Structures are given as structure tokens and as C-alpha cells.
Amino acid sequence: MPDASSQLEVGTYSVSQFNVFVPSMGEDTALCFNTFSGAFLPVALVDFEAIGQAIACLEDGGDVTAIAPAVLALLVENGFLVPTGFDERAALKQRYFDGRRDEAGLNLTIAPTVSCNFACSYCFEEHPKRHMNEADVEAIATHVETALRPGEPLGVIWFGGEPLAQFKTLKAIDARLDALCQAKGSSYSQSIITNGSLLSEDKIAYFANRPGFTSAQITLDGPAEIHDQRRTTSAGGGTFAKILDNIKAVDGRFFVSLRVNLDRRNVLRTTELIDLIVEQELGHFVSPYFGHVTDYNDSVEGLSDHCLSRAEFAEAEIKLGFYMIQRGLKPALGLPQPSAHSLCVADSPGGAVLSPGGLVFSCWNETAFPEQAASGSLGPDGLVRTEAQAKKAERWKQYDPFSHADCQSCKVQPLCQGGCPWEAEKAPKDGPGHCSPLRNNLPDRLRLHHLCASIDATADLAPDRPRQVV
């Protein structure tokens, strides 16, 4: 058991409502996790017996004096026990709003175009032929010049439509933002969400040489046979081979987050894609992660019969993560950690989605919406809002992820904060919001994390052992 020698203040303690205790995949270790504090302790079963006895003692109304001092210190310091009377739910809510208020800088999603060269069967976006022009470039630069305080960070996600379809415009915006950040002494980071079909060598080289570029998210929905039924060109052609060739051409120059959108039509074939990544030796810079196909809006009406339930998706996520480990890949399912800040661009104080025509939205799901749905617009004088737009923007300023009744008894709430704000706002206030898969698979996520950590520790002892982990 880890040493815990700190002196505790005299007082009484209660058992945290956010404790999760599960056996590991092995037979000799228990995993102790607190979703509020983020503490994760793998403990030998012989030592866990003392922890279990301490927890049971307090749950039965016993006194802390009956608990060994070292055990008591360990549990208190890691948040498994909290001072009696401490309202964890209220503290969680306060932490979220304090973190959101204290956030600095700008968090922008920029769509150089909302048109797309694909016609994916489950896409939630309409794709009107709207592209950014020189006026949009100037308006974005004016907004950042006005809104970004010196020394505060700027983060940009290039989005669409297909952003690489307007690569010249993307570069023009990037150059202006880079110059502004240098003048302000601000850091500038960026990533891109692209279908990958237009990621030619000149574009790969461009992003690879951008100091603040972190990653590209690219989607493959299974082996070629499956992917080419789901993610076709606008003319109906297959796209798998071209995307895979482009990913291979990246060759480790930056990280590729490989999204696989799961539903009933491809979930049983996804292992074949994992096998392909291993066979092509891409695992040193490509890491698959899994998205849940849902019928977000009317654009994808009729998908319900193909969609996995939340529980089914959570189960698939774990099974595929375990299969990745078996094949020598490290799944993007690390140790979940409590959130102490905004969840996404929608509830971020400096967040905005910038769309062609100077339109400003609060969520990616709205990027291609018409002008009347915008929450603001960019022009020569920066960001302006009509009265109606101001009301839309205020909706997100007032967003409260703790309003759903079911969340109030959920151990996962510190990790997901109610899930996707846009989806949660669509749900009734007495419903569960937009539940994270963690509500269904947290114990197995902890086991996978512990297994990966154990494999890494073994590899450190045998550095010549071949690994494909990101």
C-alpha cells in the first residue's frame, strides 16, 4: 500500500459518493478510483482488505478512530473519504463554473467551407455551397485582433464541410492568425478534422512544418468493403484506398486520430481495420478511436434502426479497445479525469464556430445552418449580434450541465459534466442528458488503463520488445 504519512486534521469523515472499486484483469490487484478527485490507486488485494474495512466502518456509522492512521490518511488525501458535511455535488458545480469563468484565450472552430466532396450516409450536416472569401479572412483577423488579449492562447480547429477543399483560404487565415499571435506574444495551436481524401503531399508537408499543429482527425469506417458503402464521394465513388494512401504518406510527421463511426452495420467488422493498421505498421502515429453514430437531427432521419444503444456502444468500445491491446496498439481510452473547465466550444467563454459569410455559431452541429440560426456575425468591426442573435448566444453563456435530474446520482458526473451540451439541451430537464459511455463502461475503462500501464511497465524493462503504441 502506498505510504501516507501526512498529519490529518482532527474531524469526522464520510465516504465519498464518487468512489469506484473494481478488481483488475489480474487476480492480485484492486483498482481504487474517485471520479471527483481523479485519484487512481492499484492496490494489492491484501492491502485492499484494510481499505474495504475502513469504508464499511464509516458506512455503518463507525468512528474514524477505528481506522488505522495510514489507511485513513491514504483515503482522505485521495478523496475516497471527505469531511463530514462536505457537499461534493455543490463543489463539483462550483469547480465547473469557476473553471469556465477563469478560462483565457480564444477557442475557435473555423470552417473555410461548409461544402463537402463526400456524401456520407449518416452525416448530420447539410452541405450548401458556401465558401469563405477575402472579406471573411479579414473579418476573422479583426475578431482575433480585438478579442485575443496579449499573452493568452489561441486554439483553432479547422472544420467543414471539407476544410481542405479551400486550402488556399485556410492558409491565408492561418498566416494572419500566426502573425497576430506573434505580435501579441500568444501561443497558437491548431488541428484539423478532414475526411482525408484531399490530404496530398503538399498539404501534409504544410501542416507538418507548422510549429503549433498537433493532429489530424481522419475517418475510416472499417475495411474497404464496409467504408466504401458508408463514406462515398458526392458522385457515389469509393474513398477508402485514397484515404489510406494519404494516411500512409503522413508517415509519422504528425499524429493521426483515426475516427471509426460505429453502428450495427460495421461494428463487427472493425477488428479488420485494426488488423490493417497493424499490418501496414501505422501504429506509431495512427490511433483509432470510436464514435457513436446517432440520429442527431432531421438530416440523418431513418438511422435509428442502425444505431447502437448507449450500452451497446459502450460495450463495443471496450471490446475493441481490448482487441487493440491484443494486437499491440494502445487504445485512446486512457484514465478518465474530472473536468474543471468548459466542455467544448459551445460552453467555452472564448469559443465560437466561424462559418462562411461571417456567420458565427455556438456548436459544430450548427456550422452549415442558415443565417437566421446564427448567434452572431463577423464584419469589418469584428463580432456583432442582433437582438435575436444575442439571445442565442446568451443561451450558452447560461448553460448549466447540472440541470438533469438523473445526473445528480451518477458517479460519472465529474468526468462527463452531463456530456455533449448540444445533445443535453435537446433532452428533457428530468432526463439523463447526453450520457457518456463511461456511465456504462467505467469499470472496464479502469481495467484497460491498468492493463496498458502494466504493459508499458513491462516494455520499459525490455526495451527491445517491439511495440506499436501511440
The cell 500512409 sits on which residue? 248
**What distance, in Å, lies between the first and last C-alpha atoms of the chain?**
30
Convert 226-236 to b/e letters by CB count within 10 Å (16 or more is b).
bbbebbbbeee
How many Å apart are CA 203 and CA 216, to the nearest integer?
11
414-449 pLDDT tens trace: 999 888 888 877 766 666 667 899 999 999 999 999
Residues facing 31 on adjacent strands: 22, 42
How many Å apart are CA 45 and CA 56, to the nearest integer?
16
The cell 471573411 sits on which residue? 136
CB 140 within 8 A of CB 379: no
Task: List the domain boundaries for the chain.
Answer: 1-86, 104-326
DSSP annotation of 6 reads: P
Res 10: pLDDT? 45
Looking at the domain covering 1-86, what would its CATH class be? Answer: alpha beta
Res 421: pLDDT? 83
Instruction: Read off the pTM.
Output: 0.91
What value does the mean pLDDT of the chain take?
Answer: 90
Residue (of 378, 422, 425) closest to 403 by Cα position:
425
Res 4: pLDDT? 43
Residues facing 20 on adjacent strands: 33
CB 433 within 8 A of CB 424: yes
| Same fold: 1-86 with 104-326 | no
95-113 pLDDT tens trace: 999 999 999 999 999 999 9
CB 106 within 8 A of CB 350: yes
Q: Does domain 104-326 have CATH number 3.20.20.70?
A: yes
| Confidence category of residue 90, pLDDT binned at 50, 70, 90 | very high
